[in-house]
Amino acid sequence: ASQTQQPRGALLVVEGGDRCGKTSQCTRLLDALHARGIDARAVKFPDRTSETGKLIDLYLKGAKDVDDHAVHLLFSANRWESMKHIRALLEQGTTLVVDRYAFSGVAYSAAKGLDLEWCKQPDRGLLRPDLVLFLDLDPIAAARRAGYGEERYERVDMQQRVRSNFMSLADGSWKILDASRTVDEIAADVSAAAIAAVEAARSTPLCSDLWC
Ligand code: TMP
């Protein structure tokens, strides 16, 4: 007799420029999913705990200089090394709320002057997200937020280029949200879109075809 298969979890990605409120929205979203009895976990890229992550952390804090191409590949490797674990979690029915993904990889590296198409290649074949929630905030407003400027990329001119690169990557799986609103207003939109995506993912196969 065939066993009933567990419906898979959804791969939900939250993206945006620096200080757009992404991390608080990820926390709020996890709480909202748990409140509905949905098995969900947080994932964060870069994962600063792995070997590649430790190097990335030093780079972001300005403690180490790394060639732009090399650091781009490190960020991508940092995602690839988690793919097996991420796939296993999704297949066992766990929904993942992912704070940054390959879209950040491309948007930031291309903002430093690397060719956008070149930047997409190393992440080709990663798991395709079911939903990308993009928290859109004017970089000038972001710069007024607490803690801005502590890390390497937190400069308004850089963030303007990052924002326009993100926009050029958006497709039908993206939901672009105005992140200048209150935390509660944004959270309501985020959870509504996420819950719909969790439902839809139950009957859609998981695909390792990002940008294919
Ligand atoms: P965080 O502040 O969300 O931890 O992200 C760290 C910084 O790294 C942020 O400025 C975005 C940048 N970044 C990249 O340049 N490439 C990537 O692939 C990722 C995931 C983040």
| Banded model confidence at residue 4, pLDDT cuts 50, 70, 90 | low
CA distance 151 to 104: 15
| Banded model confidence at residue 100, pLDDT cuts 50, 70, 90 | very high
**pLDDT (tens digit, 9 = 90+) per residue, 173-203?**
999 999 999 999 999 999 999 999 999 999 9
CA distance 45 to 34: 22
- For the chain, what percent of residues have pLDDT higher than 70? 98
Q: Is residue 59 within 6 Å of ligand 1 at its C-beta?
A: no
CA–centroid distance, residue 4 to ligand 1 (Å): 39
Taking CA atoms only, the protein residue closest to ligand 1 atom 15 is 108
Q: Which residue bears the tokens 């065939």?
A: 2
What ipTM describes this predicted complex? 0.99
The mean per-residue pLDDT over the stretch 69-93 comes to 98
Nearest to 61, CA basis, from 156, 184, 172, 149: 149
Answer whether residue 1 shows pLDDT above 70.
Answer: no
CA–centroid distance, residue 106 to ligand 1 (Å): 10
CA angle 204, 208, 212 (to 5 degrees): 110
